[in-house]
Amino acid sequence: MISKENGIMKFDRSKRNKILCGLTLAMRLGLGCLFLWSSLPKIRQPYDFLSNVYEYELVGPKLGMLSAMVVPWLELILGICLLGGIFVGGATMIAIGLMVFFTFAHASVLYRGLDISCGCFSTSGSDLISYGSLLRNCFLLIACILAYLGLSIRYASNSNY
């Protein structure tokens, strides 16, 4: 129910909770699709993704190999969890951590002036790191944080999801 007090429209608590749940669900599903979509080319072409990891010049050979083996599968599991509603709070926290790291990596590449492929959604060299990709990562990080906050508020209010 919507009421009007002092010229200000106000939603009642149940309507506000339904809107919050809907927005949180939309963000969760969108992020789940995004992580699932980004993981598949990396899993299909692991050596190309390993090459992308080395181009960032952030880690050595052993840690680069470990990153190239773990990140695509972590993204796949995150996508499945977010889409399937499994361990959503933990998956959202891990998504925040990944997006913080990806955003830092992009900022580092731009700061150092490297001209390399992102490796985000394909392992081909077509998607170069730019301020646009950094902005995209910042937007996705904010979406992850908002999804987590929406979940936290929902759990705090003990409403059904």
Residue with tokens 């394909």: 122
Domain boundaries, the chain: 15-157
Q: In angstroms, how far is the first alpha carbon of the chain from the final one?
A: 19
Q: Classify residue 114 by its DSSP letter.
A: -
Dihedral sign, CA of 132, 138, 142, 148?
positive
And the tokens for 139? Answer: 């937007």
Q: pLDDT of 75-132, one tens digit each?
A: 999 999 999 999 999 999 999 999 999 999 999 999 999 988 888 887 666 688 999 9
Residue 129, classed as helix, strand or coil, is coil
Whole-number Å distance between alpha carbons of 80 and 101: 21
And the tokens for 78? Answer: 């995150």
Nearest to 31 by CA among 123, 150, 159: 150
Lowest mean pLDDT among 37-51, 60-74, 110-124: 110-124
Residue 159, pLDDT > 70, answer no
Banded model confidence at residue 161, pLDDT cuts 50, 70, 90:
very low
- The reported pTM is 0.83
Residue 10, pLDDT > 90, answer no
Residue 64, pLDDT > 80, answer yes
